[in-house]
Amino acid sequence: MKATIQHNNTTYTIDFSSPIDISIPLTNTDANPIAWYIDKPVIEPVKMGDWVGKVSEGSSTNFNNIFFNPHGHGTHTECLGHITKDFYSINQALKQFFFLAEVVSITPEVYDEDLVITRGQIADALTGKSPEAIVIRTLPNEAIKKSKNYSNTNPPYLEEAAATYIRECGIKHLLIDLPSVDKEKDEGKLVAHKAFWNVKDVNNLNTDARHDATITEMIYVNDEVKDGSYLLNLQIASFENDASPSKPILYKL
């Protein structure tokens, strides 16, 4: 099915029959990506006495429990409640689900012993555009991203100035193929998170903090997806939590 949309006096045609899924599925195998020093997810049938919720073991249905952490076990979308003293829910923060997005590919720069995405790189990649969402694919774009254990590997991250620039561009939704926009071990400073959400004090939230802005981490954008403009459908599970597993989908314009 094809449809047309208009944004900023420009008309786009979208083919909804050709979705591009940039989420990573959650499994209970070693193929599941992991971050933040936790074990892989657990997916197992409910057991009550002699009864096992598994058709192959005599039950009428498969009836599994799933134990996972949205931040550490795959593609997830989070709101500013991830870093604030007071509770804020991603299910309340994200109320619209379609956005014009720009896919950009960036090779992080070497800084001391780190790999960092800089303000200048973001500015160069956007070429003056101010989309509603930015999708950052880091290079090299290795397939191991879909199953990597990121714990204690010091992955690349955004410098504070880059996150500030993204906010100042008016971008509300930041998607990236890393486990965090911040450095893995940063003494809890979380400067990129705070800059993007415009959070100045996690204990006493400022009135201009961005409640409707989201960060989506641990995506994977195949090489076949070219840099450029897309329609993004950002869907979450309806958890009243700071973060939820999510399924971002791109559509060519």
Give the burial class of 178: count Cβ atoms within 10 A of its Cβ; 0-12 exposed, 13-18 middle, 19 or more buried: buried
- What are the Cα distances from residue 205, in Å, to 50, 87, 181? 51, 11, 21
Beta strands in the chain (DSSP E): 2-7, 10-15, 20-21, 42-45, 47-48, 51-52, 64-67, 76-78, 98-106, 109-111, 114-117, 133-138, 157-158, 173-176, 214-217, 228-236, 243-252
* Residue 181 · residue 215 · CB < 8 Å: yes
Can you give the pTM of this predicted structure?
Answer: 0.96
Domain residue limits, the chain: 2-32+70-252
The tens-digit pLDDT sequence of the chain (253 residues) is 888 887 778 888 999 999 999 999 999 999 999 999 999 999 999 999 999 999 999 999 999 999 999 999 999 999 999 999 999 999 999 999 999 999 999 999 999 999 999 999 999 999 999 999 999 999 999 999 999 999 999 999 999 999 999 999 999 999 999 999 999 999 999 999 999 999 999 999 999 999 999 999 999 999 999 999 999 999 999 999 999 999 999 999 9
Second-level CATH architecture of 2-32+70-252: 3-Layer(bba) Sandwich (3.50)
140: cis peptide before it, omega within 30°? yes
Residue type, 109: E
Question: With the CA atoms of 11, 15, 16 and 17 taken in that order, what torsion angle do they form, in degrees rounded to the nearest 10?
Answer: 170
